[in-house]
């Protein structure tokens, strides 16, 4: 039996998603909890791996198990065993062709910036802090040059293992909500550090240090050295993947991803 699950986590206490030498990771904690519920080892596969300090509203995983439990029992049982920084939102039965990563046609991320001169306290570790005033409208205008299918080598980290730097961005919005500037981005897939590098390139535009045309010039250069710095991990959230062939998966249930106001 194959099951899919939606997972929410605060990444500030973890060394990223993937199981590794450093501990704890989200994957190892989740596998340990699910294994206790199943009374046997469980291995999970996710929609998109996240780095140290990166959060998730609805990471989706799948796993195979012969253990028979009600969906509610999987959720409650896992949450009883999980680290308090991780929560299982839902579990659904899926057919054996479903794969959390390969069945996803799009993925959404959000980058949050607290834009005020006073450092964060309540939101510490959950937002990037930018002291200088940012012009969100300029940032949004500049970001539109990145829409579509392109070679994103300029926004690709050196350690990226993807075979191709070509990706397609379907949506890239920058909005201000009070003291927050938010970057919402949706694409078919992402190269390593792509969202954080895009945010790091839009920030100088928002500060007025670079022209609105600059991100488009950076994209055309296909050279990571000409782009802005990688923005801090704590502002990044994996929002959710999209599965058009699996409408029963409630990936948007807990997520505020509203249309851009015009």
> Which residues are the active-site residues?
51
Q: Cβ neighbours of residue 33 under 8 Å, at least 6 residues apart?
A: 77, 78, 79, 80, 81, 82, 86, 88
Q: Which helix (H) or strand (E) holds 132?
A: none
How far, in Å, are 39, 56, 143, 166 from residue 227 at the CA level? 49, 26, 13, 17
How far, in Å, are 1, 37, 47, 100 from residue 66 at the CA level? 6, 12, 22, 19
DSSP secondary structure letter of residue 226:
G
Residue 198 DSSP SS3: helix
Residue 43 DSSP SS3: coil
């Amino acid at each position: 039996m194959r099951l899919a699950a939606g997972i929410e986590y605060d990444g500030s206490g973890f060394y990223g998603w993937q199981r590794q030498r450093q501990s704890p990771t989200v994957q190892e904690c989740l596998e340990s909890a699910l294994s206790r519920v199943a009374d046997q080892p469980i291995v999970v596969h996710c929609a998109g791996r996240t780095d140290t300090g990166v959060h998730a509203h609805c990471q989706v995983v799948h796993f195979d198990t012969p253990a028979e439990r009600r969906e509610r029992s999987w959720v409650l049982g896992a949450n009883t065993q999980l680290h308090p920084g991780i929560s299982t939102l839902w579990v659904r039965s899926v057919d054996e062709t479903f794969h959390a990563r390969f069945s996803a046609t799009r993925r959404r991320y959000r980058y949050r910036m607290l834009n005020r001169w006073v450092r964060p306290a309540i939101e510490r570790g959950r937002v990037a802090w930018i002291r200088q005033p940012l012009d969100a409208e300029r940032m949004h205008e500049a970001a539109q040059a990145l829409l579509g299918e392109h070679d994103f080598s300029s926004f690709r980290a050196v350690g990226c293992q993807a075979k191709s730097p070509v990706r397609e961005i379907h949506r890239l919005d920058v909005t201000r909500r009070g003291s927050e500037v938010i970057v919402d981005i949706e694409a078919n897939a992402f190269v390593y550090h792509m969202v954080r590098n895009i945010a790091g390139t839009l920030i100088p535009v928002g500060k007025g240090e670079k022209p609105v045309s600059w991100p488009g010039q950076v994209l055309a250069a296909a050279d990571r050295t000409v782009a802005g710095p990688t923005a801090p991990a704590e502002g990044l959230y994996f929002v959710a993947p999209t599965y058009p062939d699996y409408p029963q998966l409630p990936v948007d249930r807990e997520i505020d991803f509203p249309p851009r106001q015009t």
